[in-house]
């Protein structure tokens, strides 16, 4: 696939077919993540791969519990009381991109590193016919280090990028983009 088509064709997908992703493709996705640039080439990302529905549901329920303890507009709150997996959207594949905990300035760099890894992973997934979505809500799981440790994120690590992948039920229309250049000095 042409890179430009891949960049413009990728969408955040929030409904997935009940179809597993092969190990070969998971390896490609994670491998693409590891090709991202990183501050001082630290390659800080560590991947936890979860394909087990019961585990994903448990994480989804926990995120909702945490979110319900916070202030939200009513229409958003509704999502958190649903029995459905309104956090990870019934995905067959959840990848938790995490890093070792660091002091704030390195943490910021590592967060960027993980974001770059995430986009690489999204594009690699799209090339394989998969949809994907960054689930920022999933980062609230950092409030439950015991549960994260249970699924393989060590307590001295922080979850930076919860990413979901799978075969899309349908492809949404693109959300229009605007290129906002503040200034261009020649």
Ligand X SMILES: Cc1cc2nc3c(=O)[nH]c(=O)nc-3n(C[C@H](O)[C@H](O)[C@H](O)COP(=O)(O)O)c2cc1C
**Footprint of ligand X on this chain (CB under 6 A)?**
11-12, 14, 133-137, 175
Q: Which of 11, 4, 5, 7 is nearest to 175 (CA)?
A: 11
In the complex, minimum distance from the CB of residue 13 to ligand X, in angstroms, rounded to a whole number: 8
In the complex, minimum distance from the CB of residue 27 to ligand X, in angstroms, rounded to a whole number: 24
The 3-state DSSP class for residue 95 equals strand
Q: With respect to ligand X, which residue has the nearer C-beta, 12 or 55?
A: 12
> Are 161 and 118 spatial neighbours (Cβ–Cβ below 8 Å)?
yes
Closest-CB residue for ligand X?
A: 136
Q: With respect to ligand X, which residue has the nearer C-beta, 25 or 135?
A: 135
Q: With respect to ligand X, which residue has the nearer C-beta, 24 or 83?
A: 83
Q: Which of 105, 100, 61 is nearest to 80 (CA)?
A: 61
In the complex, minimum distance from the CB of residue 141 to ligand X, in angstroms, rounded to a whole number: 12
- How would DSSP label each residue in 99-120? EE---HHHHHHHHHHHHHHHHH
In the complex, minimum distance from the CB of residue 136 to ligand X, in angstroms, rounded to a whole number: 3
* Cβ contacts of 125 within 8 Å, gap of 6 or more: 25, 29, 131, 132, 165
Q: With respect to ligand X, which residue has the nearer C-beta, 175 or 180?
A: 175
């Amino acid at each position: 696939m042409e890179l430009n088509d891949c960049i413009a064709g990728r969408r955040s997908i929030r409904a997935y077919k009940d179809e597993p992703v092969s190990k070969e493709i998971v390896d490609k996705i994670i491998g693409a993540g590891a090709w991202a640039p990183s501050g001082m080439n630290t390659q800080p990302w560590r991947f936890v791969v979860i394909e087990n529905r019961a585990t994903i549901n448990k994480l989804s329920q926990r995120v909702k519990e945490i979110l319900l303890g916070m202030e939200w507009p009513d229409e958003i709150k509704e999502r958190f009381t649903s029995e459905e997996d309104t956090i990870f959207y019934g995905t067959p594949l959840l990848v938790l991109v995490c890093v070792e905990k660091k002091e704030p300035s390195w943490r910021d760099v590592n967060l960027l590193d993980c974001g770059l890894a995430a986009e690489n992973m999204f594009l690699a997934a799209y090339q394989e016919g998969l949809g994907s979505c960054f689930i920022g809500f999933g980062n609230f799981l950092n409030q439950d280090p015991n549960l994260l440790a249970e699924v393989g994120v060590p307590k001295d690590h922080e979850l930076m990028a919860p990413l979901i992948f799978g075969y899309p039920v349908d492809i949404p229309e693109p959300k229009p983009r605007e290129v906002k250049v503040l200034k261009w000095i020649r």
